Chains A and B, each alone.
Chain A
Amino acid sequence: MSKLPLLSQNAYLSVFISQKYIYAHLAYTYYDTNSSYILKDISRLPISTRNINLNEFWLDYFTNLENKWGWEILSAKKVSSDKFANHLKSFEDEGVGLRGCSFKISRDNTNSKEWIDSLREFSLDLKVSTVNKLSEKKIFGEIAYRLGYQDCIFLNLSVQSLKMYRFEENESVSRGIGKVGSDVYDVSEAIYKWKDEEKIMEVVKGEKYLAFLKQYLNENFRYNIWANFLSKPTLYTQSATFKDFVRAYLTLQLLSISQIQNQICSDFGLKKPKNLICLTGEIIGIPEFRDLLVSIIDGFEIQGNFDFYVDYESLIYTFGSSFSKGKNAEDVIFTKDNFLPNFTKVFIPELEIKKGRRKLVFEGLLKELDKESGLNINVMSSEFTDIKIDKAYNSIFEGRLSKSAFIEHYSKDIAFECFAEGITWERVVFDCRFKPVMYGPGPRENENKFKSWFTDEFN
């Protein structure tokens, strides 16, 4: 019996246009040879489409992608000085052609209409669609469903917007054949958009913001760097000052939102045993990973346990829908291990320890499957312990919470394989700081607090 084309050799290009960037992912799968990979590119979008010949723009974009990846994408190019007839090259082999190409354009992009029209004009072979609140909810719901989580928060953090969707499993609806994500989850959302630059500037102007910073920055410097970033944002930075600046901004924004809409994140991590936070967006690459996690925990004041993954490359938008459909996908078939980034397991136990006392909260072992000994893990109260797992595919994490610590819906014994069911666990985090976490009153106090919280023992 002949195989479905998607199960034999396949290559598909999916592109997502966010507010400021173009994320391109070319997925190549060849399950017969156990070969699959995703070629990636993130490019900045021009600020305005004015004075740009968009046909030339797309031709240049595809030509550069072809050169970067060494992959033939277009079969016909410029036919005369002002006329284009562009077709996708049919898939032949690895490096030659595609089975299809789709573009998803975020409605948050101020030039979305121009991008859509120009792509439709550029080539009829491109599948062009928009990403709006409804489609986001659909994609996130399906992903949560495929991953089997009971309570999920999807967060898209950008400078101009913050979007949050929570999917809580409705226990009266059972999972089963024919069911989709939207059937089994109750969905709540909180969407904030700051179109006005002044409103975004206001956040860093206030005294409240200073209470979250770790480094003192004078008012002038604060406004200058933030205004420059708002005009021309970057996805990453090398500046420790700016990493801290954005961490403080995110913490404050998340905290404000959780206070305004306290029902949206209430009891997350405590209600159900299988919880997930998935993070995507244009600003998430700026803070250090650990700081980003702390922002979310403190911003939403989370307790309990959850799994955490950060989608730095917006894969959720390009191939999230295909992944969630599994073998029923129409473009590419993804398995968990060729689609998902590495996960982090987060435990935030409730402590029955007098505030300020340093006591053992968790005692455990990180070891390779076939070995008896490994890395001894001792987690202390008042600390944020981040354990990096180097050989996840072959490791096991096990241990026990002390008498004075417990996690709702979780036994005292914690044990899991670091690579299981297609998911790689890259880190385990125990947040044993005393709650509620207090920031401020100023940067110097925050710096001392961060120093006392973090232990680099297991990194």
Chain B
Amino acid sequence: MNLISKSVKYISGEEVLIPFEGRASCHIKEGNSFKKGEELFNIEKRKIVETYSLSKELEIKEEKSKDYVCRIEGEYITKGEVIAEKLVSGGLFSKRVFSKSEGIVDFSRIDTGYVDILAETEVEVFKPKFSGNVVDINLGRGMTVLSDVCIIPLFAVSSFNKKKYLTSAEVVFGEFEVLGDAESIPSTKNLKDSYEDKIVFAGRFLYPEIISELFSRGAKFVLVGSMDYMHFTDLKLPAGLLTGYGNICFDEILFDVFQKLEGNQVCIDFNSNSMKILVGLNNKFSELIKQNYFKKLEVGDIVKSLEIESFGMVGKVISFENGKEQAKVAMQNGSTLLISVDNLEICQEDFSILGFGIY
């Protein structure tokens, strides 16, 4: 029997933590329900004005960055002042990183090679783009809300230091942004100036340089279809893979879902290694969705290959061969492959029922 694999799974009533990334004051109490767009809490935080990658500019290892800074944490810096310096040629010359703006020096990302210049404290109002109930408020941790979610499992998560990098070791919460398309590999030329507070899907395949660039522009987490194993395991930035290792075609159906969900609030849950798209409470759906786990493979089924040379590719079963031991699969990239039935997972997604409405 073939296991049904859901790239998008609808779960009713899931508790999700929205971490407080600064000093919070709440407008709602525990147990209360809220509507889409209602103000839930204020957060006092400093926005990032500028980010400098010391590892890139001084050509040093990320973990050595703190050895080259000339400022102290929280110091006020003006335009043109030196942030970091490295002596070269036996001290005859020096490479320096100058501040292009004024603000507070922040070393919270120094272990990953970044120094941020922060603006004055601003108050931001958090408005959810979904409805739900407040389950718990913990000023040191965040607000736990109850909402229906679409869960997208992550194939792998990079081994970055969660404690040093994130305000919450459990989740990253942010707005979902889709970069580029499912086919091409994005380049730095096509990037926007800022991805602040965004969880970015950056395409089917990436080199680590682009991820680094997205972080220097404020991204909180980068999702990518596939990457080479060596690059991914060396990556010290928060990133997740969706399909697998290598340069693998991305599922067009999932990409359509991503495009339709762009701008919604999502969270990356490190306990379950998944992305949760918050879609609001809606009791009707839980009754409509029947959770099947196994199925006999049939012509017309959408499948994902686990065969090593077509790993992660998605296609449609068009016929069976060799006494139903193998299936002929028309892949999304136009090729037709003969794959052992045992090496196929059936894709049965729950998103169609949503109609892409967020409640």
Contacts and interface: CB of A to CB of B under 8 A. Distances in A.
SS of B interface (majority): mixed
A220 B228 contact: yes
Interface string B1-23: 11100000101000000000000
Contacts of A64: 1, 294-296
A52 to B, nearest CB: 7
Interface in A95-120: none
A213 to B, nearest CB: 15
Interface residues of B, number: 34
Given A56-B291, A60-B293, A68 B1 contact: yes
B307 A238 contact: yes
B246 A44 contact: no
Contact of A224 (B9, B229, B292, B345): B229
Interface string A209-250: 000000000011101111111011011111101100000000
Contacts of B292: 60
B296 A68 contact: yes
A273 B159 CA distance: 53
Contacts of A67: 296
A224 B246 contact: yes
Contact of A239 (B156, B228, B307): B307
Contacts, number: 102
A319 B287 CA distance: 40
B229 A238 contact: no
A57 B338 CA distance: 30
Given A51-B9, A52-B293, A56-B291, A237 B307 contact: yes
Contacts of B153: 47
A238 B329 CA distance: 15
A46 interface: yes
B135 interface: no
B244 interface: yes
Contact of A229 (B9, B151, B156, B308): B308
Given A44-B3, A46-B3, A220-B230, A234 B307 contact: yes
A227 B229 contact: yes
B22 to A, nearest CB: 31
B342 interface: yes
A231 B340 contact: no
Given A224-B229, A229-B308, A51 B245 contact: no
A228 B291 contact: no
Given A231-B244, A242-B309, A236 B340 contact: yes
A206 to B, nearest CB: 15
A232 B306 contact: yes
Nearest to B337: A238
A225 B1 contact: no
Contacts of A42: 342
Nearest to B1: A43
A53 B339 CA distance: 30
A53 B289 CA distance: 13
Among all A-B residue pairs, the 10 with the closest Cβ atoms = A223-B229, A224-B246, A224-B245, A44-B3, A64-B294, A242-B308, A43-B1, A227-B229, A227-B245, A60-B293
Given A234-B340, A237-B308, A238-B340, 12 more contacts: A43-B2, A53-B291, A57-B293, A61-B1, A64-B294, A68-B1, A220-B228, A232-B244, A232-B306, A232-B311, A235-B342, A242-B308
25 contacts: A41-B1, A43-B1, A43-B2, A44-B3, A46-B293, A51-B11, A51-B272, A52-B291, A53-B291, A56-B291, A57-B293, A60-B293, A61-B294, A67-B296, A219-B230, A223-B228, A225-B245, A228-B244, A231-B155, A234-B306, A234-B307, A234-B342, A235-B342, A237-B343, A238-B343
Interface of A: 41-48, 50-53, 56-57, 60-61, 64-65, 67-68, 201, 219-221, 223-229, 231-232, 234-239, 241-242
